[in-house]
Amino acid sequence: MQIKAAGIESARDWDDLVLREHEQTERFRDPPPDEDPWAVMAGNFAPPDRDEADLDPAVPVVETYLDKSDTVIDVGAGGGRLAIPLARRCSRVIAVEPSPAMRARMDSAINHLGVGNVEVVPATWQDADIPVGDHVVCSHVMYAARPILSFMEKVHDHARKRVTVMLRERPPQGNFHELFERLFGEKRIALPAMPEFRRLLKSLDIEYDLHRLEDRPHGVFRSAEAALARSTQRLFLNPGSPNAKRLAELLPTCLVPNRPNGEGVRFKWAEPQRGWLVTWSTE
């Protein structure tokens, strides 16, 4: 990867945005619990079943770029939502995942579905000591990656053929920003997402293919109780803390019935998450 002054400047802007978001989070969050922060939500990242009824929409797109003999590296593999279906479409998957809760979910699915060609690596991407593969995929991981330039260099250098990245138009917590602002009285700093990533790629002179993925509902909950539980998690609050109690009082004024689209409730301001897949050749 050739890095020029424009790439260094764009990466610096990305890193600064991540740093400022993290600093703001730390000012308002409750003390973090000792356990894995992904323990509660790991179930949301489960892979599809044997019939692939809930197949991630990125998989058929990635498959068009895959050869059956390829080795795929899945950066931040989560519960195996991509790693397991991709393993059925290639020779081998190396799934890099630092969260114990996510790895437990993935290991369970690997055993249940009888997938024998997934190697799970318990490490962050920066610390992972793995061989080069053919195709590196990175699904909804880069939002908080920092320093982004070394992250990107490692992704690029570990792909003999191709890199594929999935990102949303807005960061994953985008629909919780308004709630943050109402609770704390301060505008929420947003993590970088697809617009910033495209600017980064342009500054690095990377030519890429762009695929639009289907919108996903967001800011929608099966009940007011579920909305409170998820909002407490997303705002990094501990149940029963003073801020969590304030949130419980505020939240009913922010919810409306989720009609005519379905049952449950949603934020008044909720917008679907627009998904993108970006892919480029490294050959």
Output b/e per residue, 68-78; b: 16+ Cβ within 10 A: eebbbbbbbbb
- Give the mean pLDDT of 51-75: 94
Greater pLDDT, 259 or 21: 21
Greater pLDDT, 38 or 235: 235
pLDDT at 208 > cutoff 90: yes
pLDDT digits (tens, 9 = 90+) for 88-145: 999 999 999 999 999 999 999 999 999 999 999 999 999 999 999 999 999 999 999 9
Pair 47, 109: CB distance under 8 Å: yes
Euclidean distance between CA atoms 187 and 99, whole angstroms: 30
Spell out the domain ranges in the chain.
5-215+275-281
Residue located via tokens 């519960």: 79
Amino acid letter, 160: R
In the structure, what pLDDT confidence band is assigned to residue 20 with cuts at 50, 70 and 90? very high
pLDDT value at position 99? 94
pLDDT digits (tens, 9 = 90+) for 64-80: 999 999 999 999 999 99
In the structure, what pLDDT confidence band is assigned to residue 40 with cuts at 50, 70 and 90? low
Question: Please, what CATH class does the domain formed by 5-215+275-281 belong to?
Answer: alpha beta
In the structure, what pLDDT confidence band is assigned to residue 46 with cuts at 50, 70 and 90? confident
pLDDT digits (tens, 9 = 90+) for 160-207: 999 999 999 999 899 999 999 999 999 999 999 999 999 999 999 999
Question: In the structure, how many helices (H) and strands (E) does the chain have?
Answer: 9, 10
Which runs of E-coded beta strand occur in the chain? 71-75, 92-96, 118-121, 133-139, 159-168, 209-216, 220-221, 255-257, 265-267, 273-281
Q: What is the average pLDDT value for the chain, to the nearest integer?
A: 93
pLDDT digits (tens, 9 = 90+) for 142-173: 999 999 999 999 999 999 999 999 999 999 89
**What is the pTM for the complete model shown?**
0.92
Nearest Cα residue to 141 out of 102, 107, 109: 102
